[in-house]
Amino acid sequence: MQFDTWLFYLAASVGLSLSPGPNGLLALTHGALHGRRKTLFTISGGALGFVFIIALSVFGIGALIKSSAGWLGALKWIGGAYLVWLGVQVWRSPPLAVELNGGSSQARPGSLFRQGALSAATNPKGLLFFSAFLPQFIDPGRSLVIQFTIMAASFVVIEIVAEYALASAANRVRPWLTRVGRRFNRVCGGVFAVIGVALPLRM
């Protein structure tokens, strides 16, 4: 992966990590219920789940590229269209609602880790999303293993930082989301749509 491509990937990943999603919502909820330290187990589980679906996406795409080089170009345009569609859905979605049902501060670390991992790894929308997003940055002339390592590590670090910030500020962020959640969704939806249009044209 060339350095300028990685910088573009990094910027896109920051925008995606700040967008509404099940793992961000889980980190926010667990941060309010259990505190930021225990929520690190939730976040770590989510990171492992993201590595799993990024691996499935990258190596699945790699297998298609090996069968026909034309697949990468097609995947870029299909993926771009999906990201635009996803942006429209996020734009139109209601504000995130965080329901606190009196969870215990005695939650077990293993349970929190498992919830985070399952939230990331079993969400079919996550696999579909990464299958649309990652082809924009794959260079078929370079090692897929190295590209996977760079992309997975970069995204996971950004996601961990974003989710930990949410967990740390959970009690302040929840009222803010209630007030401006719809506008926040529109900004995030706009980011998805711009990425969906710009990336296939850039590559």
pLDDT, tens digit (0-9, with 9 covering 90-100), for 88-138: 877 777 766 555 555 555 678 898 999 899 888 877 667 777 888 888 888
In the block, residue with structure tokens 């300028």: 4
Mean pLDDT score, 28-48: 88
Joined together, the tokens standing for residue 130 give: 């990464």
**Of 31-45, 78-92, 111-125, 154-168, where does mean pLDDT reach its minimum?**
78-92
Q: Chain-wide mean pLDDT for the chain?
A: 80
Mean of pLDDT values over 46-53:
93
* Residue 41 pLDDT level (bands cut at 50, 70, 90): very high
CB 149 within 8 A of CB 54: no
